[in-house]
Amino acid sequence: MVGLLNRDDFKIILHNLGHILAIASFTMLVPVLFAIYYDEPEYVRLFILSFLVTLAAGLFISKVFKGHHDIKLKHAIGMTALAYIVVPFFSTIPILSLSPTFLDAFFETMS
């Protein structure tokens, strides 16, 4: 059984979620290459901004919830559940310039 989560469990989950965000931020550099190739400077700025914000947030979260702990099943489940929400949230940043509302941009990112 997975069990209930305590304060230390949340620290482990958030620390590792910060690492996931930092790693996911580098995927936002791929569209930069295409935007440079197709001479779209506006999108270069948007995706670099998105990369920097996501990387900074990931490193900040990892640093704030620092600690060395063994990851158990309940931590992995929590990290996975939060990553499915948090990573698309940060990936919404460049889409906001194309969508009329945040909800539309978030929906496009999630799908």
Tell whether the model's pLDDT for residue 67 goes beyond 80: no
User: 49-88 in b/e burial notation, b at 16+ Cβ within 10 A?
Assistant: ebbeebbebbeebbeebeeeeeeeebbeebbeebbeebbb
CA 81/CA 10 separation, integer angstroms: 13
pLDDT at res. 3: 67
Tell whether the model's pLDDT for residue 65 goes beyond 70: yes
- The gap from C-alpha 90 to its chain's centroid, in whole angstroms, comes to 5
DSSP assignment of 69-110, as one string? ----HHHHHHHHHHHHHHHHHHHTTGGGGTSSSHHHHHHHHH
pLDDT at res. 90: 94
CA atoms lying within 13 Å on the CB side of residue 85: 5
Tell whether the model's pLDDT for residue 1 goes beyond 90: no
Lowest mean pLDDT among 5-9, 18-22, 56-60, 102-106: 5-9
pLDDT at res. 2: 60
pTM for the whole structure: 0.87
Q: Which helix (H) or strand (E) holds 17?
A: helix 7-25
Q: State pLDDT tens for residues 5-47.
A: 788 889 999 999 999 999 999 999 999 999 999 999 999 999 9
